[in-house]
Amino acid sequence: MFEGSRAFDIAWGATTGTLCFALGIALVYRWVMARRTGAPSFFGSAVDPSRSLHLAWAIFALGMGGTNFGCRFIDHNYLLGVHEGFFAVTLVVYAVVGPRLAWLTFAA
């Protein structure tokens, strides 16, 4: 089976890590621009008036990008559930940030 092979681990880690880095970089860019222009937070002014939640999700997405690279590039088969756990957390990042970022990008 391809899942569990070193080739799959490296390819999957590079893909998910790159996607998380892309989301994190886009969030940092939007955070910097919002602070410069006074635009509302990524999550809206009612939810995040100080933009701290926005910055926290940006840092979290960047951290998950690094974790996805490290998790798949470093062999640690003796730790049960690590890949599944990081996959689930990565999906949370995509589910929370992805749709809103896509909407803001294409609505402009």
Higher pLDDT, 76 or 18: 18
Could you read off the pLDDT of 52-73 as tens digits, one per residue? 999 999 999 999 999 888 877 7
pLDDT at 90 over 90: no
State the pTM of this model: 0.81
Q: Report the C-alpha gap between 108 and 106 in whole angstroms.
A: 5
Could you read off the pLDDT of 3-15 as tens digits, one per residue? 667 788 788 889 9
pLDDT at 21: 95
Q: In the chain, what are the domain boundaries?
A: 6-107
Sequence-separated (6 or more) residues with CB below 8 Å from residue 6: 75
For 90, other C-beta atoms within 10 Å of its C-beta total 20
For a pLDDT cut of 90, what percent of the chain falls above it? Answer: 34
